[in-house]
């Protein structure tokens, strides 16, 4: 009987320690957008599941994937330390419904980190654009920013936690640039920076095909494809414009800079060599959305006609 009581007490102690450890874990929500584009492109669900698999190997992190653009219940945000939105943007961005913007503003005020990837950095100008400037520092503005398919050469990086262990790399992706950054640049750090060739500036862009004179006129200027923000509310944010091509998650440095950023916005110490992870060909094939042939990129709604005098 005594041995039985000892075993029960030991078990309860272990359960209590495990529960305490779980409670101390940092919670990262990975919000994956609805299926979009053709096979291998905009694989938001597969990309988030891959990031989760990598994060699950980092002690002290509890990562959750919420599919189809938004959690089914807003209770999922309770206790969150960081939120990543990897989804289609523009007018269909999952975060720009008024009640969702209000929720994210309330989380940001509590210091919750917010990150946006690829099309998720594009929202309409106005209140949605201001929100992304507040949360992550900048956004893609239609007809101001551009989205060519190209291969920037990332040769050097600023000294920052998210660049730890990241080595020079280059992959073909739909790397957006000429973001609409906030006017107050305090706390803003440009992470992935490269100089587009004149040919890239001349287009074609993915949509609209361009070229845009203001992009051509800036030839020779270095451009930012990823950035971080330390907010005045104590929270952190980042924008990452890559992520169109799912296969790029197989590149160690492409993947590492995003994993590092997720730790950083959750206020977890990034290891000196960055987050170590590995991805197999089978990992890249897992969780892909069932898709048919290629689909055209969504186009923004046409502006309403001007009223007649």
H/E stretch holding 16:
helix 2-24
Give residues with Cβ within 8 angstroms of 304, minimum separation 6: none
Q: Is residue 19 in some structural domain? A: no
Nearest CA to 192 among 216, 215, 168? 168
Q: Is residue 307 in some structural domain? A: no
Write down the pLDDT at residue 65: 98
Q: Is residue 302 in some structural domain? A: no
Token pair recorded at residue 129 = 């654009």
Write down the pLDDT at residue 293: 56
Residues of the chain with pLDDT under 70: 1-24, 292-309
Write down the pLDDT at residue 291: 87
Tallying the residues shown for the chain, one arrives at: 309
Q: Is residue 297 in some structural domain? A: no
Q: Is residue 6 in some structural domain? A: no
Q: Say whether 309 sits in a helix, a strand or coil.
A: coil
Is the alpha carbon torsion for 89, 92, 94, 95 positive or negative? positive
Q: Is residue 294 in some structural domain? A: no
Which residue carries 């800079």 as its tokens?
257
* Spatial contact of 91 and 124, defined as CB atoms under 8 Å apart: yes
* Spatial contact of 105 and 131, defined as CB atoms under 8 Å apart: yes
Q: Is residue 295 in some structural domain? A: no
Q: What is the CATH number of the domain that holds 255?
A: 3.40.50.880
Write down the pLDDT at residue 2: 43
Nearest CA to 117 among 204, 191, 210, 209? 191
Instruction: Return d(Cα 141, Cα 221) in angstroms, integer.
Output: 19
Number of domains in the chain: 1
Is the alpha carbon torsion for 124, 126, 131, 133 positive or negative? positive
Instruction: Return d(Cα 230, Cα 182) in angstroms, integer.
Output: 13
- State which residues form the domain around 172: 26-285
Write down the pLDDT at residue 81: 98
Q: Is residue 299 in some structural domain? A: no
């Amino acid at each position: 009987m005594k041995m039985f009581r000892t075993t029960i007490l030991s078990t309860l102690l272990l359960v209590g320690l495990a529960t305490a450890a779980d409670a101390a874990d940092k919670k990262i929500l990975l919000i994956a957008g609805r299926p979009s584009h053709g096979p291998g492109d905009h694989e938001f669900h597969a990309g988030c599941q891959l990031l989760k698999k990598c994060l699950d190997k980092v002690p002290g992190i509890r990562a959750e994937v919420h599919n189809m653009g938004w959690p089914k219940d807003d209770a999922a945000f309770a206790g969150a330390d960081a939120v990543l939105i990897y989804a289609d943007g523009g007018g269909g961005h999952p975060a720009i419904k008024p009640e969702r913007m209000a929720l994210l503003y309330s989380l940001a005020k509590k210091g919750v980190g917010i990150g946006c990837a690829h099309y998720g950095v594009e929202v309409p100008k106005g209140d949605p654009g201001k929100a992304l400037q507040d949360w992550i520092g900048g956004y893609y503005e239609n007809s101001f920013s551009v989205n060519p398919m190209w291969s920037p050469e990332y040769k050097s990086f600023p000294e920052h936690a998210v660049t730890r262990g990241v080595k020079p790399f280059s992959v073909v992706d739909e790397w957006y640039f000429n973001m609409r950054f906030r006017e107050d640049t305090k706390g803003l750090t440009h992470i992935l920076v490269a100089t587009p060739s004149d040919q890239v500036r001349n287009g074609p862009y993915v949509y609209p095909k361009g070229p845009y004179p203001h992009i051509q006129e800036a030839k020779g200027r270095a451009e930012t494809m990823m950035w971080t923000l330390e907010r005045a509310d104590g929270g952190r944010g980042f924008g990452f414009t890559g992520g169109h091509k799912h296969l790029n998650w197989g590149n160690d440095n492409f993947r590492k800079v995003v994993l590092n950023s997720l730790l950083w916005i959750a206020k977890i110490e990034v290891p000196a060599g960055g987050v170590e992870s590995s991805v197999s060909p089978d990992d890249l094939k897992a969780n892909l959305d069932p898709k048919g042939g290629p689909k055209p990129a969504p186009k923004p709604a046409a502006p309403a006609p001007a009223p007649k005098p």
